[in-house]
Structure 1
Amino acid sequence: MLSAALLTLLSFVLLFVGAELLVRGGVGVALRLGLTSLVVGLTVVAYGTSSPELIVSVKAAFIGQSGIAVGNVVGSNIFNIAVILGLASLIKPIAVNATAMRRDAPVMLGVTVLGILVLLDSTIQRWEGVLLFLSSVIYTWWVVRDARKNSEPSDDAKPMKLWVAIGFVMAGLGVLALGSQLLVDNAVFMARTWGVSEAVIGLTIIAAGTSMPELATSVVGAIRGHSDISLGNVIGSNIFNILFVLGLASIIHPIHAQGLSWTDQGALLLSAIALLPFMWSGRQIGRSEGLILLAGYGIYLALLWPKG
Structure 2
Amino acid sequence: MSILYLILGFLLLIWGADRFVSGATALAQKWGVSNLIIGLTVVAFGTSAPELAVSVSASLAGANEIALGNVLGSNLFNLLVVAGLSAIMAPLVVDKTLLCRDWVASLLATLALLGLIIDGRISRGDATVLLLGFVTIMALQIRNAKTSHQEDTPPCSTSNRTIAQNIVSGLSAIVIGGQLSVHGATELARQFGVSETVIGLTIVAIGTSLPELVTSLVATKRGETGIAIGNVIGSNLFNVLFILGLSCFITPMTVAVTAVYDTAILLVVTTGMLMLAKQRKLNRLCGCTLALLYVGYTLWLLVR
Give the match for residue 288 of structure 1.
285
Unmatched segments (≥5 aa) in structure 2: none
- 1:109–1:273 CA contact under 8 A, matched in 2: yes
Query: For the residues of structure 2 that align with 1:20 and 1:274, how far apart are their CA atoms?
Result: 31
Instruction: Kindly indicate whether residue 195 of structure 2 is the aligned counterpart of residue 196 of structure 1.
Output: yes
- Deviations along 1:228-263, one digit per CA (max 9) or x if unpaired, are 222111111111110011111122222334474444
In the alignment, is residue 121 of structure 1 matched against residue 119 of structure 2?
A: yes
The CA deviation string for residues 17-50 of structure 1, in whole angstroms up to 9 with x for no partner, is: 7777777778888988x57354433311121111
Partners of 1:44 and 1:215 in 2: CA distance: 16
Residues 44-67 of structure 1 show CA distances to partners (whole Å, capped at 9, x for unaligned) of 112111111111111121112222
Greater alpha carbon shift after TM alignment, 100-109 vs 170-179: 170-179
* Paired amino acid for 1:107: A
| Distance change >3 Å, CA 272–CA 219, structure 1 → 2 | same
Provide the rounded CA distance (Å) in 2 between the counterparts of 1:272 and 1:47: 19
Report the equivalent of 1:61. 59
Distance in 1, Cα, partners of 2:160 & 2:201: 37
Aligned 1:1-308 pairs, distance under 5 A: 3=1, 7=5, 36-38=33-35, 39-152=37-150, 156=154, 158=156, 194=193, 196-198=195-197, 200-258=198-256, 260-280=258-278, 282-307=279-304
Q: Alpha-carbon deviation of 1:120?
A: 2.0
- The CA distance in 2 between the partners of 1:220 and 1:4, in whole Å, is 25
Residue segments in structure 1 that go unaligned for 5+ positions in a row? none
Percent sequence identity is 37
Q: Secondary structure at the match of 1:211?
A: helix
- Equivalent-residue separation in structure 2 for 1:174 and 1:260 (angstroms): 34
| Inter-partner Cα distance in structure 2 for 1:64 and 1:14 | 31
Distance 1:91 1:29 in 2: 25
The answer to whether the 8 Å contact 1:36/1:154 transfers is no
* Root-mean-square deviation over aligned CA pairs: 3.4
Distance in structure 2 (CA, Å) of the matches to 1:226 and 1:77: 21
Q: Measure the CA separation in 2 of the matches of 1:19 and 1:124.
A: 34
Q: Number of aligned residue pairs: give it.
A: 302
Change (3 A) 1:29 1:248: farther
Q: Separation in 1 of the partners of 2:113 and 2:19? A: 29
